[in-house]
Chains A and B, each alone.
With several copies, the nearest count.
Chain A
Amino acid sequence: MSRPECQFHLALGSRFENIELVQVVLDESLRRLACDDDTRYWVGIAVREAVANAIKHGNHLDPGKKVEIDLRVEGEDLIISVLDEGNGFDPGRVADPLQPENLLKPDGRGIFYMGKFMDGVEYRFRDGGGTEVTLRKRITSGVAIPERNQEGER
Chain B
Amino acid sequence: MKIGVRQRQGVTVLEPKGKITIGSGDIALRDSVIEALDSGSRKILINLKDVSTIDSSGIGELVAAYTTVTNRGGKLKLVGLPPKVSDILQITQLVTVFEVMESEEEAVDSF
Contact = CB atoms under 8 A, between A and B. Distances in A.
Interface of A: 15-17, 19, 41, 44-45, 48-49, 52, 56, 97-98, 103-107, 109-110, 112-113, 116
Interface in B18-60: 21-24, 53, 55-57, 59-60
A39 B66 CA distance: 30
Given A52-B22, A104-B66, 20 more contacts: A15-B23, A41-B53, A45-B88, A48-B21, A48-B22, A49-B56, A52-B56, A52-B57, A97-B92, A98-B92, A103-B97, A104-B63, A104-B67, A105-B60, A106-B60, A106-B61, A107-B60, A109-B92, A112-B92, A113-B55
Given A98-B92, A105-B63, A109-B60, A16 B55 contact: no
Interface string B79-108: 000001000100111100100000000000
A112 B88 CA distance: 11
A60 B66 CA distance: 28
Given A41-B84, A98-B92, A106-B61, A16 B24 contact: yes
A21 B97 CA distance: 34
A45 B91 contact: no
B61 A16 contact: no
B56 A110 contact: yes
Contacts of B55: 45, 48-49, 52, 110, 113
29 contacts: A16-B23, A16-B24, A17-B23, A17-B24, A19-B22, A19-B23, A41-B53, A41-B84, A44-B53, A45-B88, A48-B21, A49-B55, A52-B56, A56-B22, A97-B92, A98-B92, A103-B92, A103-B93, A104-B67, A106-B61, A106-B63, A106-B64, A107-B56, A107-B60, A109-B56, A109-B59, A113-B88, A113-B91, A113-B92
A15 B64 CA distance: 23
User: Lowest 3 A-B CB distances belong to which pairs?
Assistant: A16-B23, A106-B60, A109-B56
A52 B67 CA distance: 24
